[in-house]
Amino acid sequence: MKPFPEASTREAYGKALVELGKELPDLVVLDADLSPSTMTKYFAREFPSRFFDCGLAEQNLMGIAAGLAAAGRTAFASTFASFATAKAFDQIRVNIAMPHLNVKVVATHAGISVGEDGISHQAIEDLALMGSLPGFTVIVPADAPETVQAVRAAARTAGPFYIRLARPKTPVLHPASYAFATGRAELLREGRDATIIACGLMVARALQAAEELAEEGISVKVLNMATLQPLDEKAIIQAARETGAVVTAEEHLAHGGLGSRVAQVLGQKCPVPLEMVALQDYAESGQAEELLEKCRLTPQAIAEAVKRAVSRK
- Domain span at residue 259 reads 186-311
Annotated active-site residue in 6, 46, 58, 289: 58
Tens digit of pLDDT for each residue in 219-261?
A: 999 999 999 999 999 999 999 999 999 999 999 999 999 999 9
- CATH number of 222's domain: 3.40.50.920
Q: Is the pLDDT of residue 279 over 90?
A: yes
Residue 64 domain flag:
yes
State residue 176's pLDDT score. 83
- 224 and 151 fall within a common domain: no
Question: What length is written for the chain?
Answer: 313
- 154 and 16 fall within a common domain: yes
Residue 235 domain flag:
yes
Decide if 306 contacts 272 (C-beta within 8 A): no
Tens digit of pLDDT for each residue in 94-112?
A: 999 999 999 999 999 999 9
Q: Rounded mean pLDDT of 184-212? A: 98
State residue 116's pLDDT score. 87
With the C-alpha atoms ordered 114, 120, 124, 128, is the resulting torsion angle positive or negative? negative
Residue 1 domain flag:
no
State residue 205's pLDDT score. 98
Overall number of domains in the chain? 2
Residue 93, Cβ neighbours under 10 Å: how many?
16
pLDDT, the chain, mean: 97
Cα separation, 21 vs 277, in Å, equals 38
Q: Which residues pair with 221 in a beta bridge?
A: 195
- 3-state percent breakdown (helix, strand, coil) of the chain, nearest 5: 45, 20, 35
pTM value is: 0.97
Cα separation, 111 vs 279, in Å, equals 9
| Catalytic (active site) residue 19 | no
Decide if 221 contacts 195 (C-beta within 8 A): yes
- 219 and 114 fall within a common domain: no
Q: Rounded mean pLDDT of 54-76? A: 98
- CATH number of 100's domain: 3.40.50.970
Q: Grade residue 2 by pLDDT with cuts at 50, 70 and 90.
A: low
State residue 117's pLDDT score. 86
Residue 40 domain flag:
yes
Residue 119 domain flag:
yes
Q: Rounded mean pLDDT of 18-38? A: 98
Decide if 138 contacts 131 (C-beta within 8 A): yes
State residue 1's pLDDT score. 58
State residue 37's pLDDT score. 97
Q: Grade residue 3 by pLDDT with cuts at 50, 70 and 90.
A: low
Residue 2 domain flag:
no
Q: Grade residue 115 by pLDDT with cuts at 50, 70 and 90.
A: confident
Establish whether the linkage from the previous residue to 230 is cis, with ω within 30° of 0: yes
Residue 181 domain flag:
no
- 140 Cβ neighbours under 8 A, 6+ residues apart: 110, 127, 163, 164, 199, 200, 226, 228, 250, 258
State residue 137's pLDDT score. 98
Residue 176 domain flag:
no
pLDDT more than 70, % of the chain? 99
Burial profile 97-134: b = 16 or more Cβ within 10 angstroms, e = fewer: beeebbbbbbbbbbbbbbbeeeeebbbbbbbbbbbebe
Closest CA to 202 of 218, 220, 224, 180: 224
State residue 309's pLDDT score. 98
State residue 4's pLDDT score. 75
3 state SS of 305:
helix
State residue 234's pLDDT score. 98
Q: Is the pLDDT of residue 280 over 90?
A: yes
- 218 and 163 fall within a common domain: no
Q: Rounded mean pLDDT of 143-148? A: 98
- 144 and 216 fall within a common domain: no
> Phi and psi at residue 21, in whole multiples of 5°?
-60, -35
Q: Nearest-5° angle of CA 254, CA 234, CA 273? A: 45
- 38 and 143 fall within a common domain: yes
